Amino acid sequence: MSDFQGMEELLQDFLMEATDLLSSVDNKLVDLEKMPNDNGLLNDIFRGFHTIKGGAGFLNATELVTLCHLTENLFDRLRNGELTLTSEIMDAIMDATGAVRHMFDALGRGVLPDPAPPELLALLKQALAGELTQKTDTAAASTAVTVAAEPDWSGLLQSVTKVPNAVPVAASKQADAPHPGMPPPVALNQPPEQIIQHAVGRRPSDKPGYQGPPTSRREGEKTRDNTIRVDTSRLDQVLNLSGEIGLTKNRLNALRNDILNGNTETDTMAALDQAVGQLDLLVSDLQSAVMKTRMQPIGRLFQKYPRIARDLARGLGKDVELVLVGEETEIDKTMIEDLSDPIIHLIRNAVDHGVEPPADRTANGKPTKSEVRLEASQQGDHIVIVVSDDGRGMNPEKLKAKALEKGLITDEEANAMDERQSFNLIFLPGFSTVEVASDVSGRGVGMDVVKTNIQKLSGSIEIKSVMGKGTSFVISLPLTLAILPVLLVELGDQPFAVPLSMVREILPIDINLVQEVGGNAIMVVRGEVLPLLPLTSLLGWSAERVPEYGVLMQATDSAFILAIDGFAGREDAVIKSLEGFRPKGVAGVTTLSNGQIVLILDMKELLSGLGENRGVPRSSFITEAAAA
Amino acid sequence: MPDPSKIKFLVVDDFSTMRRIVRNLLKELGYVHAEEAEDGAVALQKLKGGGFDFVVSDWNMPNMDGLQLLQAVRADPALKHLPVLMITAEAKKENIIAAAQSGASGYIVKPFTAGTLNDKLVKIFEKLEQSPA
């Protein structure tokens, strides 16, 4: 059962806001390593822990309060110049944020978090006491651990309020004794030794070999949150538009009555025309406004990566800076969540494989510090995300040799491959370029998963690499998955929708240009040999007439011409998924303006169903007229 | 005691979850009118716009913290009569002294319950009635 009965909503709010806050603290910590004396940063981080502590108190998450309190005190001393930030203290703090995240995971599962590992608390306490600095300031250290016992607040406040003219609106005489019903969390008022006693005493079975919570890969994070934060001005716009639609509806109702009563004068009809036109405009505005509420700045995803990159680079003895660009770029919320893992993997890959160790970089005349860039931008109706490094680049020959050795490709295939195709080898399942799999980038599982995940989002991924200069992974994604621009094609009078993103061009099928290779009909378009595939045969229908038009479509790694009878135009389809059953090759359905229901075809699935034997003979395209 | 439903609160905190907690507690006590501000600077703007009867403010905030807000309120002839209840996570005596010297009407330590909040509010209202501004 949940430890948060009746508080679930509060808990969700807290987690969402506090997780963002923690990510920004993480980033500021990375910055702080570069500028250890920046008071603004120290203040911000202090406030971050302080705020989390305050919220945690209301959730009765005592252990989280304890941990945040210790860390916050540490930053209080740092910002007041009583302590100097050393790498030892930094490590303790990094562990602390990891532990806080761990506790968030527990809260996310609806349980009160366990105490932080005693070693960590001891470490923080040590840092607080100034014992983690190289030059220990003993005078400061002695005061550091003295957290005063509960002060006599009422007496204190009273004595203060007695000062003449000091307090215009004085607190009452009996003021502000702590409420007996709700004492502050026990840890706040105890010296740190007792806090640790408390923590250890609560859970003696704590594993001594505790490695510190995982910071880069969070398994518990899989639970998807179903809430979304929307700028109020965007919601207001939705409200505004729906109000206006209501008004237009009223206008239409009135006009309808007029018309039903026989009033069909020019004025009335003009007004009707105007009202319908207005409704048209308002509805499309409303659609785009609603869509916008789903759009979130990608920065919310990006902000957790600098810390991951830093930890990785440190573990590998490399000096890497992760540069974020275009954090304000907006992208559909569902995509943000699904992009998280692929981007983590690409960053890991860049830090682990892409970037050289400092010694190699110096030898090659590069600066020891390497730069990994994570960039997002909107290009037309696509979002482009680029993960690039300034490392050693990829060697196509080496990649081919590796793939050959692993038996993933044949000699002929290897010889026929151009540079781009060689790079794409790393997306093959089971491919890994490093002889000894490191614990950082895993064992060759991943790059293939990255590609599959991106494709699931209707996106594509491309590699650009120059030896000695670096590698870029370019991910291209549609703006949103909710609306799909489609081309409506016809078989007889039955329309089908195909994704417009796959359509390269539309061309008539001229039997004189159709050739036959190995019993399969092909067409040569500007030197490119393309198989000619009738939609009827893809669907397994019998052909009732000879297709007259072709749609040149580009699938991920091959192009083909889809032969059809005609077109019914293009639409922005709102995809409705078919709950419960899903016929092979059907991605979903949509409703046309005339109310007709149309199947949206999943071309990839249709093609995969064909196997090797995908072609049809040339004779399928000979019309009676041509044959005569 | 004034009619709770007629008092308009301004809840100031940079952490929206906390604003919500405070508003919910106020609502539980019958104080249904509340607006929010995310830091002292925004709060001061709103207060200057008028219409507020009571300020509940967090201490530690970016831009303008709770203490600065309190001082600004007390320094403004149009606002100085407003009761200001300070909320903080810290039970430090320096803080209490600073708050009292700057003219806080009350001081409450996180976490607190509706009961605690009510006690504080009642005391502040009693005080107000005894010495009308």
- Look at chain B and report how many structural domains it folds into: 1
A&B contacts, CB < 8 Å: 124
Q: Does B17 touch chain A (CB under 8 A)?
A: yes
* B121 touches B11 (CB < 8 A): no
List chain B residues with CB under 8 Å of A167: 100-101, 103
Domain-located, residue B131: no
Please, which residues have CB within 8 angstroms of residue A376's CB and are 6 or more apart in sequence? A298, A302, A325, A326, A327, A329, A331, A383, A384, A385, A386
* A116 touches A91 (CB < 8 A): no
Q: Considering CB atoms only, which of A58, A153, A166 is closest to B110?
A: A58
Domain-located, residue A313: yes
Contact B123 A47 (CB under 8 A): no
Give ∠ CA A539-A545-A551 in degrees, rounded to 5.
60
| Closest Cα in chain B, distance from residue A18 (Å) | 9
List chain A residues with CB under 8 Å of B120: 176
Distances (CA, A) of A173 to A160, A161, A176, B113: 11, 9, 9, 22
Contact A148 B80 (CB under 8 A): no
Return the pLDDT at A224: 52
Q: Considering CB atoms only, which of A14, A171, A185 is closest to B100?
A: A171
Clarify whether residues A141 and A32 are in a common domain: yes
Contact A175 B106 (CB under 8 A): yes
Residues in chain B: 133
CATH code of residue A523? 2.40.50.180
Which B-chain residues 50-89 have CB contacts (< 8 A) with chain A? Answer: 58, 60-62, 74, 80-81, 83-84, 89
Q: Does B101 touch chain A (CB under 8 A)?
A: yes
Q: Considering CB atoms only, which of B16, B89, B115 is closest to A53?
A: B89
| Closest Cα in chain A, distance from residue B5 (Å) | 23
Distances (CA, A) of A532 to A507, A564, A607: 12, 10, 12
Q: B10 pLDDT exceeds 90?
A: yes
Return the pLDDT at B121: 92
Rounded to 5 degrees, φ, ψ at B25 are -65, -40
Q: How many whole angstroms separate alpha carbon A604 and alpha carbon A538?
A: 11
Domain-located, residue B57: yes
CA torsion, points A382, A387, A389, A395, in degrees to nearest 10? -80
Q: Last residue of some domain: A478, A495, A517?
A: A478
Q: How many CA atoms lie within 13 A of A531 on its CB side?
A: 21
CATH code of residue B56? 3.40.50.2300
Which A-chain residues 12-31 have CB contacts (< 8 A) with chain B? Answer: 13-14, 17-18, 21
- Look at chain A and report how many structural domains it folds into: 4
Q: Which two tokens stand for residue A261?
A: 């009563």
Domain-located, residue A198: yes
Clarify whether residues A450 and A313 are in a common domain: yes
Clarify whether residues A417 and A307 are in a common domain: yes
Domain-located, residue A422: yes
Percent of chain B with pLDDT over 90: 48
Mutation choice for B interface testing from A172, A186, A189 by most B CBs within 10 A? A172
Clarify whether residues A550 and A569 are in a common domain: yes
List chain B residues with CB under 8 Å of A158: none
* A302 touches A327 (CB < 8 A): yes
Q: How many whole angstroms separate alpha carbon A113 and alpha carbon A110?
A: 9
Please, which residues have CB within 8 angstroms of residue A559's CB and are 6 or more apart in sequence? A504, A528, A530, A552, A553
Domain-located, residue B105: yes
Q: Does A170 touch chain B (CB under 8 A)?
A: yes
List chain A residues with CB under 8 Å of B115: 179, 181-182
DSSP calls for A178-232: PPTTSPPPGGGGS-HHHHHHHHHHH-TT--TT-----SS--GGGGSPP------H
Clarify whether residues A58 and A76 are in a common domain: yes
Q: Does A230 touch chain B (CB under 8 A)?
A: no
Return the pLDDT at A433: 52
Domain that holds residue A279: 233-293
Strand partners, A463: A473
- The structure tokens 């606002």 sit at B79
Clarify whether residues A421 and A517 are in a common domain: no
DSSP calls for A546-602: ---EEEEEE-SS-EEEEEESEEEEEEEEE-B--SS---TTEEEEEE-TTS-EEEEE-
Which A-chain residues 481-520 have CB contacts (< 8 A) with chain B? Answer: none
List chain B residues with CB under 8 Å of A50: 60, 89
The angle, 0 to 180 degrees and rounded to 10, between the axes of the packed helices A192-202 and A62-79 is 150
Domain-located, residue A177: no
List chain B residues with CB under 8 Å of A168: 74, 80, 103
Q: How many whole angstroms separate alpha carbon B70 and alpha carbon B55?
A: 9
- Which residues in chain A come in under a pLDDT of 70? 1-2, 132-226, 432-446, 480-482, 556-557, 579-580, 609-614, 623-628
Q: Which two tokens stand for residue A433?
A: 């370029």
Domain-located, residue B52: yes
Clarify whether residues A470 and A502 are in a common domain: no
Clarify whether residues A271 and A318 are in a common domain: no
Contact A54 B16 (CB under 8 A): no
Please, which residues have CB within 8 angstroms of residue A460's CB and are 6 or more apart in sequence? A454, A475, A476, A556
Q: Which two tokens stand for residue B95?
A: 């803080």
List chain B residues with CB under 8 Å of A57: 89, 110-111
Return the pLDDT at A174: 41
Domain-located, residue B132: no
Domain-located, residue A603: yes
Domain-located, residue A168: no
Q: Which two tokens stand for residue A427?
A: 């997306």
| Closest Cα in chain B, distance from residue A172 (Å) | 6
Domain that holds residue B25: 4-126
Q: How many whole angstroms separate alpha carbon B88 and alpha carbon B111?
A: 9
Clarify whether residues A487 and A470 are in a common domain: no
Q: Which two tokens stand for residue B75?
A: 């320094």
Mean pLDDT value of segment B66-80: 93
Q: Does B40 touch chain A (CB under 8 A)?
A: no
Contact A185 B111 (CB under 8 A): yes
Please, which residues have CB within 8 angstroms of residue A4's CB and are 6 or more apart in sequence? A10, A11, A59, A107, A110
Clarify whether residues A506 and A400 are in a common domain: no
Sign of CA dihedral A225, A230, A236, A242: negative
Q: Which two tokens stand for residue A337?
A: 């969540």
Return the pLDDT at A194: 40
Domain-located, residue B12: yes
Domain-located, residue B101: yes
* A49 touches A75 (CB < 8 A): yes
Q: Considering CB atoms only, which of A17, A54, A171 is closest to B110?
A: A54
Clarify whether residues A262 and A369 are in a common domain: no
Q: How many whole angstroms separate alpha carbon A452 and alpha carbon A4?
A: 38
Contact A189 B91 (CB under 8 A): yes
Return the pLDDT at A487: 92
Return the pLDDT at A324: 92
Domain-located, residue A179: no
Strands A559-564 and A460-466: unpaired
Q: How many whole angstroms separate alpha carbon A387 and alpha carbon A470?
A: 11
Mutation choice for B interface testing from A8, A10, A51, A75 by most B CBs within 10 A? A51
Q: How many whole angstroms separate alpha carbon B113 and alpha carbon A58?
A: 9
Sign of CA dihedral A612, A614, A615, A616: positive
Q: Last residue of some domain: A439, A460, A478?
A: A478
Return the pLDDT at A147: 39
Q: What is the DSSP letter of A376?
A: E
> Radius of gyration (Cα) for chain B, nearest Å?
13
Q: CB neighbours (10 Å) of residue A567?
A: 14
Clarify whether residues A453 and A308 are in a common domain: yes
Domain-located, residue B133: no
Contact A51 B74 (CB under 8 A): no
Domain-located, residue A459: yes
* B21 touches B65 (CB < 8 A): no
Instruction: Pick left, alpha or beta for residue A450 (phi over 0 → left; psi -120 to 50 → alpha; otherwise beta).
Output: alpha
| Closest Cα in chain B, distance from residue A13 (Å) | 6
Q: CB neighbours (10 Å) of residue A248?
A: 20
